[in-house]
Amino acid sequence: MKRWMRCRVAIGLATAIGLAAVLAPAVPAAEITLSYANFPPAPTFPCVQMERWKTEVEKRTAGKVAVNTFPGGTLLGAKEMMDGVIAGQADIGCLCMAYQPGRFVVTNATGLPVGIPDARTGSLVLLDLFNKYKPEEFAKVKVLALFTTAQSNIMSKVPVRSLEDLQGLSLRGSGPAAQILGALGANPVGMPMSDTPEALQKGVIKGLLSSLEVLKDFKFAETCRYVTLIDTVIYPFAVVMNMDRWNSLPADVKQVMEDLIAEQSEWTGVYMDNHVKESVEWSKETYEVEVISLDAAEKARWDERLKPMTDKWIAEAKAKGLPAEEILADIRAAVEKHRK
């Protein structure tokens, strides 16, 4: 009898669950699915901003759009990103323009030593610069966000307290950072950030010049126990969409993405600045990383060596028919406009 009652209860529950499944309103599937490629690992700031953008787009379109994200170069690598998006291998991609300095001349001007103090300011300056000049190299894509890193500093296996300590030291740097290292007398080694951990482990390089969030994001604090603060250039990034895919989107979805451009750019800069502070403190507490500050006289020696770098960019930009002095003046004006 008890067994029979238990069977009846079980059958009743199963029936109720089945009816609930049939009668429950179905969750509508997304009408539009987009692929978003990124090259660094998931914990890094370009991927954090990617996930934030995905969340906001899906929320603001009420599920009409679904975004599938691909961090860590699983869909496109760092140097393949722009051409891969143009070719339609990904609908959206995040690229660092510093990895291709000859291709992105206008936006890479933000990577010169022009006094950009932080990532928030840099991101808004980069957005202003893009909106004014509409660089030809972005003509085949739709730009969805622009942002920068914080200022670059030296992370190394050995202490760097003076220019003399830097001479001949092999350090990773790309684009303007590589030029800075060369001007300062180091041996710049170009490579994507994703290749840097292995190069450090194998001794190919003794450190790197980059913004300091990578101490935590890439665990560089494990091997680079010294940080030398030189507060120099930033790295510019862009998020771009395949133009045919953009043109295929309905007007309401386009508007959501348009509305996010300035917001996402500034949000990423603020996140980056806060994350740098957090990463430095984590590195000091976890690995006893030593932070070295240069005195005024020593810093002046370093800065003096960097002056020809801007002159070189001006000559190269003019050779491409670009208004080099006007671009630099606009950057400096935008820095003052956005500086907090």
- Residue 93 CB burial class (10 angstroms; 0-12, 13-18, ≥19): buried
Total count of residues recorded for the chain? 340
The model's pLDDT over 217-254, given as tens digits with 9 standing for 90+, comes to 999 999 999 999 999 989 999 999 999 999 999 999 99
According to DSSP, the β-strands at 207-210 and 170-172 are: parallel
Domain with 259 in it: 32-149+236-276
Check whether residue 203 and residue 259 sit in a common domain. no
Residue 141 pLDDT level (bands cut at 50, 70, 90): very high
Looking from the CA of 172 toward its CB, the CA atoms found within 13 Å total 26
Exposed (0-12), middle (13-18) or buried (19+): which is 140, by Cβ within 10 Å? middle
3-state secondary structure of 248: helix
Q: What is the CATH number of the domain that holds 170?
A: 3.40.190.170
* pLDDT value of residue 99: 87
pLDDT in the model for residue 21: 44
Cβ atoms 63, 31 nearer than 8 A = no
In whole angstroms, what is the distance from residue 223 CA to residue 76 CA?
Answer: 28
Asked if residue 229 and residue 131 are part of one domain, the reply reads no
**Residue 271 pLDDT class (50, 70, 90 cuts):** very high
**Same domain for 228 and 320?**
yes
Tens digit of each residue's pLDDT (9 = 90 or more) over 178-201: 989 999 999 999 988 888 999 999
Q: Which domain-ending residue is among 223, 244, 276?
A: 276
Whether residues 213 and 75 share a domain: the answer is no
Judge whether residue 331 has pLDDT over 50. Answer: yes
Question: Is residue 102 located within the same domain as residue 183?
Answer: no
In this prediction, residues 246-272 reach a mean pLDDT of 98
**Residues 111, 228 within the same domain:** no
In three state form, how does the secondary structure of 106-175 look? CHHHHHCCCCCCCHHHHHHHHHHHHHHHCCHHHCCEEEEEEEECCCEEEEECCCCCCHHHHCCCEEECCC
249 in the same domain as 229: no
**pLDDT for res 28:** 61
Mean pLDDT of 137-153: 97
Q: Are 141 and 270 members of one domain?
A: yes
Query: Same structural domain for residues 169 and 62?
Result: no
Query: In 3D, which of 100, 113, 101, 135 has the Cα closest to residue 331?
Result: 113
Name the more confident of 71 and 102: 71
Structure confidence at residue 23 (pLDDT): 45
Helix (H) or strand (E) holding 181: helix 176-184
Same domain, 256 and 269: yes
Q: What tokens were used for 278?
A: 């957090």
Does the pLDDT at position 10 exceed 60? no
Helix (H) or strand (E) segment spanning residue 180:
helix 176-184
Q: How many structural domains is the chain composed of?
A: 2
Q: For residue 182, is it within any domain?
A: yes
pLDDT band at residue 22 using 50, 70 and 90 as cut-offs: very low
User: Contact 106/322 with Cβ under 8 angstroms?
Assistant: yes
- Judgement on whether residues 211 and 306 belong to the same structural domain of the protein: yes
Q: Is residue 219 part of a domain?
A: yes
Does 255 reside within a domain? yes
User: 154 forms bridges with which residues in the sheet?
Assistant: 209, 228
Does residue 9 surpass a pLDDT of 80?
Answer: no
Cβ neighbours for 340, distance < 8 A, ≥ 6 positions apart: 120, 121
75-85 in b/e burial notation, b at 16+ Cβ within 10 A? bbebebbbebb
Q: What is the pTM of this model?
A: 0.86
64/142 same-domain check: yes
Q: Would you place residue 332 in the very low, low, confident or very high pLDDT band (cuts 50, 70, 90)?
A: very high
Give the mean pLDDT of 134-138: 97
